[in-house]
């Protein structure tokens, strides 16, 4: 049995094409059924996210299945094949296994080490289970991909170090305060960046959130989300000393926090540290405030520098992650090969023995003068001949299950001797 992956991603297709081939959640069950109904497809999973659309399948006829999957994606989305095909990647066997292991481990993501893709693949798998489009092989394959991803995240630093501006701010705050528990953050501005950063801070222990905004209603709304307190924009300077962490993003033409504002606040705090994060362009906080004792000011360039440095640290872990994946590919490929090899050996022996027994019966019926001793000798001779003829193909099959070409030998033996397809076990989707 062969595993295949056909799809496209942010690396091979622009967003306009990715939008056209996206599968809609409301109709994903029908799409899975249509894919599963393709003549050569035994099991099917569809992964559809903003950055990738992939069809994962297993089949006994890999090349035919690959062609069917390409045409299925084009026909299903009514896209001319010649327009779609240049954007597609197609993997079989070990290459398909490697691809999904790398994707699940976030080595193929737009942001190296991001955790979202693993959750998206798990969701796609659960949907396929729900619609009964997976069986023994893809069940085992996907669970193996999940365990590989977990091993990569546990044994490497691929997911360490913040690689978003908002989370880099949290990482820096931790270095300044050690522990963010019971710290207070003041948001100056109620936009998306402030909200995202505030969420990261709250998830990491910050317990008090103050929000100010030129439009007070927006400050009230965002404060309510974090069970915090809104502050009128005209008077927020008077509350500045309450904040351990200040995050500002207003879009103002000139600084909303001057050196004098911050000097007054740090004095009221008796010079307890203040961490100021200015993610606005133009800047919201006067840069000379960084000269004050106890004040740690970072602007968006500083944070992006941290992100760039952290990405380099993540990239150093890629080699370790790839080594883990290669090791796991071998283990899974051996299991997949053995799944076919053992029943193939059994079927081959049964076919040979069927022919041996048939011919033996014919011969013995015309040799009625032979006694039991002679008859047993003839039987033993035919059995020995069969075993000798089977020895080499069985030896090759057993060795092949530990190599990359195991499926090729299995398919060749089954074609040459017209053996039935192996039973891969009961469906395990329930």
The residues carrying an active-site annotation are 50
Three-state DSSP class for residue 112: coil
d(CA 64, CA 57): 12
Supply 120's token pair.
């998206």
Q: CA–CA distance from 387 to each of 260, 307, 359, 394, 420 (Å)?
A: 95, 65, 16, 10, 21
CB-based burial label for 365 (10 Å; 0-12, 13-18, 19+): exposed
Which residues, including other chains, have CB under 8 Å from residue 159's CB and lie 6 or more apart? 106, 113, 114, 115, 153, 314
Three-state DSSP class for residue 265: helix
Which residues, including other chains, have CB under 8 Å from residue 239's CB and lie 6 or more apart? 186, 210, 231
Angle subtended at Cα 140 by Cα 137 and Cα 142, rounded to the nearest 5 degrees: 105
Asked, as a colleague might, if the bond just before 134 is cis with ω within 30 of 0, I would say no
Q: CA–CA distance from 57 to each of 32, 79, 380, 412 (Å)?
A: 11, 21, 46, 21
DSSP state of 325: H
Could you tell me if 247 and 187 are in contact, meaning their C-beta atoms sit under 8 angstroms apart?
A: yes
Could you tell me if 144 and 304 are in contact, meaning their C-beta atoms sit under 8 angstroms apart?
A: no
d(CA 333, CA 325): 12
């Amino acid at each position: 049995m062969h595993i295949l992956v056909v799809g496209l991603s942010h690396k091979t297709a622009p967003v306009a094409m990715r939008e056209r081939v996206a599968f809609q959640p409301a109709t994903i069950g029908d799409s899975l059924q249509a894919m599963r109904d393709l003549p050569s497809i035994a099991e099917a999973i569809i992964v559809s996210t903003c950055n990738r659309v992939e069809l994962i399948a297993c089949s006994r006829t890999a090349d035919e299945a690959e062609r069917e999957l390409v045409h299925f994606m084009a026909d299903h989305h009514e896209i001319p094949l010649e327009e779609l095909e240049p954007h597609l990647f197609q993997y079989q066997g070990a290459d398909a296994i490697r691809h999904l292991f790398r994707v699940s481990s976030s080595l193929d993501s737009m942001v190296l080490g991001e955790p979202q893709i693993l959750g998206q693949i798990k969701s796609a798998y659960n949907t396929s289970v729900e619609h009964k489009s997976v069986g023994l092989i893809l069940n085992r394959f996907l669970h193996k991909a999940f365990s590989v991803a977990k091993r990569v995240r546990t044994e490497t630093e691929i997911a360490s170090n913040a690689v978003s501006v908002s989370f880099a701010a949290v990482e820096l705050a931790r270095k300044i305060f050690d522990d963010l528990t019971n710290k207070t953050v003041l948001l100056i501005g109620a936009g998306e960046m402030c909200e995202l950063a505030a969420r990261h801070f709250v998830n990491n222990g910050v317990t008090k959130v103050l929000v100010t905004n030129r439009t007070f209603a927006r400050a009230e709304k965002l404060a309510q989300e974090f069970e915090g307190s809104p502050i009128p924009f005209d008077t927020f300077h008077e509350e500045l000393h309450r904040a351990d962490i200040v995050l500002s993003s207003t879009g103002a033409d000139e600084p909303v926090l001057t050196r004098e504002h911050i000097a007054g606040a740090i004095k009221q705090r008796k010079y307890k540290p203040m961490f100021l994060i200015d993610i606005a362009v133009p800047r919201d906080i006067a840069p000379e405030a960084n000269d004050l004792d106890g004040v740690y000011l970072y602007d968006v360039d500083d944070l992006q520098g941290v992100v760039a440095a952290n990405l380099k640290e993540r990239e150093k872990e890629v080699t370790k992650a790839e080594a883990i994946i290669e090791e796991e590919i071998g283990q899974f490929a051996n299991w997949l090969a053995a799944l076919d090899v053992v029943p193939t050996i059994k079927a081959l022996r049964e076919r040979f023995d069927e022919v041996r027994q048939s011919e033996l019966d014919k011969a013995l019926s015309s040799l009625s003068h032979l006694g039991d001793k002679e008859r047993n000798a003839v039987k033993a001779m035919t059995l020995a001949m069969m075993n000798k003829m089977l020895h080499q193909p069985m030896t090759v099959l057993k060795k092949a299950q530990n190599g990359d070409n195991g499926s090729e030998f299995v398919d060749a033996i089954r074609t040459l001797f017209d053996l039935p397809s192996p039973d891969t076990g009961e469906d395990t989707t329930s």
